[in-house]
Amino acid sequence: MSDIKNVLGKSKEYTIMGEVLVLKPLCVEDMDILMDMQSEKTKVTGIKALLKKYIVQAFPEATDEERAEVGIDFMTKLMDAALDVNGMSK
C-alpha cells in the first residue's frame, strides 16, 4: 500500500530581510491560485493571492492592515521564495 507521506509537499526555511520564515508549498486547496497565475487575464490576481497567502502564513499575528503595508522589496523576495518552495523557480 502506498504512503501518502511520500507525496506531501515539503516545507522550506527562508530568511528574508532578517525574518526567518518556514514556507509550506501550495496544496490541492490552492489550485485556484495556480490557475489564476497561468492565465494572462488573471495573472495579477493569482500573484496577489499567492503573496497574501504567504504573508498571512509568515505573520499570522499581524492585522490585515499591517499585512497590506508590507513593502515591495520584501514582497519581491517572498515571491522568489514562494516560487522556489513550489518548484516553480527559474
Measured CA to CA, the distance from residue 53 to residue 25 in angstroms comes to 11
Count of CB atoms situated within 10 Å of the CB of 1: 2
Specify the DSSP element, H or E, that contains 38: helix 31-38
What is the model's pLDDT at position 44? 95
Q: Which residues pair with 23 in a beta bridge?
A: 12
pLDDT for residue 84 is more than 90? yes
pLDDT for residue 90 is more than 80? no
What is the model's pLDDT at position 2? 79
pLDDT one-digit tens code per residue, 14-66: 999 999 999 999 999 999 999 999 999 999 999 999 999 999 999 999 999 99
Residues 6+ apart with CB under 8 A from 13: 20, 21, 22, 23
Q: Which residue has the higher pLDDT, 6 or 73?
A: 73
What is the pTM (predicted TM-score) of this model? 0.86
pLDDT for residue 1 is more than 70? no
What is the model's pLDDT at position 47? 94
Joined grid coordinates for residue 57 = 502564513
